[in-house]
Amino acid sequence: MSNNAQELAKLRQRIDQLDEEILKCLNERAECAVQVADVKKLDSEGVDPVYYRPEREAQVLRRMTELSEGPLSSEKITQVYRQIMSACLALEKPLEVAYLGPEGTFTQLATLKQFGDSVVGLPMVTVDDVFREVASENCNYGVVPVENSSEGVISHTLDNFLSSSLQICGEVELRVHHHLMIAQDTDETRIERIYSHQQTLGQCRGWLDSHYPDTPNITTTSNAEAARKLLEEKGAAAIAGEIAAEIYGLRILSKKIEDQSDNTTRFLVVGR
């Protein structure tokens, strides 16, 4: 065995040892989370205890990023610990979070970014529905879009605060990339119409004028709804996020067609 092969074998053995230690620590952390839930139940005096504390989560994430000496970036550390905390919280009580649906929207991505993959997501038809579900205590929190870097403030979201007692519990920023997609059996040379949300069409206006100047653009209630339509219609394309292509089994023709490369959408987390 060569020296390089021996060194590689040693490194892999060390990685295996570290994985075992990490696994043990993860399960110990999970057990502590279960014990925290038991203590909260004893102190709640019959009232449903609050398991999720955004300020506590932010404290943990900040501490971990400050302690990290690399080579993992602060963003990667945050992503890892977000998933760890999400899984541990699910052992206490899975969070139910309403978001502007359907499945495959950027709001769903923002929900997963904020709460982790163990969250129970509840897609809603409108922003009003999200506020209503949270206010009526049918779920723990809601996630709604509020502002886009190129299209500006989403006034309808702000209007809901005028008639609601809900409060802003957090915010999520998401880099938004739009992709042109079609159904697997669609001929890409015969696209007769393009579906997408009104704001998305605005964010891709320059690209559309350059590549499909004569193709009608049809607005939908969401990008995910635009993607879903391709399963029913021939000769159509949609502009949506990659998650929509995965959910509906679509083929991406062109990636990142937004006119501004730093296209960002801000989302609010609302709660009681």
Q: Map residue 119 onto helix, strand or coil.
A: coil
What pLDDT, on a 0 to 100 scale, did the predictor assign at position 260?
84
The conformation of residue 49, written as its DSSP 8-state character, comes to P
**Pair of tokens at residue 247:** 């959910």
HSE of 112, CA atoms in CB hemisphere, 13 A: 10
Q: What is the spatial distance between Cα 94 and Cα 87, in angstroms, rounded to a whole number?
A: 9
The pLDDT of 3-9, averaged and rounded, is 84
* pLDDT at 40 exceeding the cut of 80: no
The whole-model pTM stands at 0.72
Asked if 270 contacts 170 with a C-beta cutoff of 8 angstroms, the reply is: no
Confidence of residue 45 (pLDDT cuts 50, 70, 90): low
**Distant-in-sequence, close-in-space partners of 37: CB < 8 Å, separation ≥ 6:** 49, 51, 91, 92, 93
Q: Which residue has the tokens 């955004």?
A: 54
Q: In 3D, which of 246, 196, 237 has the Cα closest to residue 220?
A: 196
The pLDDT of 189-217, averaged and rounded, is 92
* pLDDT at 107 exceeding the cut of 80: yes
Give the residue, 195 or 4, on which the prediction is more confident: 195
Any alpha helices (H) in the chain, and if so which ranges? 3-43, 54-67, 74-92, 106-115, 127-135, 155-162, 198-203, 205-211, 223-229, 242-248
